[in-house]
Structure 1
């Protein structure tokens, strides 16, 4: 059943993927729980400058991110220096990884409330696993997560089916009561590869139209809207 934030009414929508049975939840990181774009953009600017390559605008970088550094970097450098560029990028990100890193509005109360209800929670991301764990510690959300899995933890990345199977095994999760919460077509493909629903927010780099075209099971403007629609939460968020 496809939903959007304007038409979704949980009280009238009971399905096998409703909040009643979603015991395990896989959260994407960048663009979903975490706003880390400025830090990532700085890494591309730094590495491309070092390699004397044209430096794209922030908007061009925003349109390119969402998969993995290998996929994104391929948009900006020739193949003969691609591997070197990716290694430089990862090294530089490690040195500044906690800078310009912020939880999305509603992220903390959402995961706190879900954990209070006894649900399994995991970070499932195309960000490097070790960097993801450092960020979760820095943002003080590690305590709510049963596992944090990223690229370099396995040979795979989203949307590889094997990557999705790996996180399900790590949680010992039942696909029949598991859902993925993300912000990109990669998240949707990764979820559908193992027959679980993908509920998406538009706080990342992809539009509602792009997420609809990718066959998202639900699309919401932000985490508070998702939390209310799927779980009946009224999330309080800080006002900047």
Structure 2
């Protein structure tokens, strides 16, 4: 058995359009200049407050966050989809007996709702998000990684972290986990290779599946 933790946004799902629309809504309500889609996408991963601090200014986060969350809740399922290979990979890993978890800075309630909406929750043993009383942490806080390992019931040397950003790498390093990153989210392969050795950076989930888990799909990443 392997213990595998997956990030969510940019790793298993694409929720960037919904996030962009919610950021733009908050900016309009506050009379701020709206950020374009590429700018928003590049800031995702560190948590909503960090994204908003970069896009709205630190002084506006307190006002922007409730506006963002209100609009996000209204359109949460409108523009979300599973990334190519995600459903197949989770199913294959679960079938061979691995223990699978999602480990994300997205609110835990939103995470569970989106995973259920997309049908991905059926292959997951553990779903770990932020914003709950028992888990007031965010990546890359070492306490958040320790909490994830506790929920997975494994030691750090037994776990693998799969993500799409330096935040995921930092969270893995905080708990001494092996980390692999995919260039399907907020950063390109070239950008990720600045933080991690090249053979731990993969173009997509299909490439990761073959190189890391020895799984080959007949599906096309296109």
| TM-score tier after normalising by the smaller chain length | over 0.9
Does structure 1 retain, via aligned residues, the 8 Å contact 2:3–2:100? Answer: yes
Conserved? CA contact 1:109–1:236, under 8 Å: no
Q: What SS does the aligned partner of 1:126 have?
A: strand
Counterpart residue number, 1:14: none
**Aligned position for 1:90:** 69
Look up the match of 2:215. Answer: 233
Distance 2:119 2:215 in 1: 21
Deviation beyond 4 Å, 4+ runs, structure 1: none
- Ranked by relative contact order (alpha carbons within 8 Å, sequence separation 6 or more), the top structure is 1
Shift of 1:41: 0.5
Distance (whole Å) between structure 2 residues aligned to residue 182 and residue 239 of structure 1: 18
Structure 2: segments with no counterpart, 5+ residues: none
The answer to whether residue 129 in structure 2 is matched with residue 182 in structure 1 is no
Q: What is the distance in 1 between the residues matched to 2:220 and 2:208?
A: 17
State whether residues 53 and 60 of structure 2, in contact with CA within 8 Å, keep that contact through their aligned partners in structure 1.
no
What residue in structure 1 maps to residue 190 of structure 2?
209
Answer yes or no: is 1:128 the counterpart of 2:110: no
Contact 2:161 2:172 survives alignment (8 Å): yes
Query: 3-state DSSP class of the match of 1:164?
Result: helix
TM-score by length of 1: 0.87
Kept in 1, the 8 Å contact 2:25–2:67? The answer is: no
Please provide the CA RMSD for this pair.
Answer: 1.6
Deviation string for 1:13-32 (max 9, x for gaps)? xxxxxxxxx61000000000
User: d(CA) in 2 for partners of 1:127 and 1:140?
Assistant: 18
Structure 1 unmatched runs, 5+: 1-21
Alignment TM-score, normalising by the size of structure 2? 0.93
The alignment of Structure 1 onto Structure 2 pairs a total of residues equal to 219
CA–CA separation in structure 1 for the residues paired with 2:137 and 2:122? 25
Radius of gyration: which is bigger? 1
**In structure 2, C-alpha distance between the alignment counterparts of 1:30 and 1:142, rounded to whole Å:** 15
Matches within 5 A, 1:37-52: 37-52=16-31
Q: 1:75 aligns with which of 54, 64, 67?
A: 54
